[in-house]
Amino acid sequence: MQVRWIVGVGAMVAILALAMWVYSNPGGMRSQQFTDLPWQIEVADSQRTRALGIVLGETTMADLVNRLPVPDIRLFVDPDGSRMVEAYYANARIPPFDANLILRPDLDAAALDRIEAQVTSERPMPSGARRYGLSDDALVSLGHVPIVELSYVPRARWNEELIVERFGEPSERMRIDSEHGYWLYPEAGLAILVPRRGRVLMHYVTQERWAQTVERLRDEGRRRLGEDHGGPGGHD
């Protein structure tokens, strides 16, 4: 009886020790159960990066039909004339997390011209940009264009300590305005928008698009900082 009791106590201690190790080690067994976690980024080359189970530069929206909900796909035209097509996925699930996703296909000026010629509706945005609906033909053609940028907005709350724990210290912390800043991880093609309040946004791009993406973010920061200080383009 005493031997069985000792064995039973020993087994219980071993189980408790294993449970404590799992829950105290964020990079341990819990992380290894999943392969598409936000911090698991694989850069294959300058044109391909795998993040969240999507290979930027290779995966298309058609490839994601059975994995993600139906997206809302729109063309956005900024006041300066720059154009971008975005596919918005609400309440997408990439286990174990729920998130909103924005995917941007690889489109040159000629492709954007063709899409703009097929718009079906127009709506002004508060930023001054205009949002356009797209024809069925345009939507079908977009389904087969590789995705090169991905924005991920997790439903879970991330604080700065958790970001550092999962991604490490950023190479640069770029201020956008008094409430927002980007943490930059150039080796991964990742820029994380970190607000004082609210949810973070993780923006993934291929290496070949990193420089122009960062410049776009810096332009946004200059514009928004000018607005904060009542500079040109600021609000009364």
Confidence of residue 227 (pLDDT cuts 50, 70, 90): low
- Give phi and psi for 128, each to the nearest 5: 100, -10
Q: Which of 51-55, 175-179, 203-207 has the lowest mean pLDDT?
A: 175-179
The tokens describing 47, both together, are 């044109």
Q: Give the pTM.
A: 0.80
Confidence of residue 225 (pLDDT cuts 50, 70, 90): low
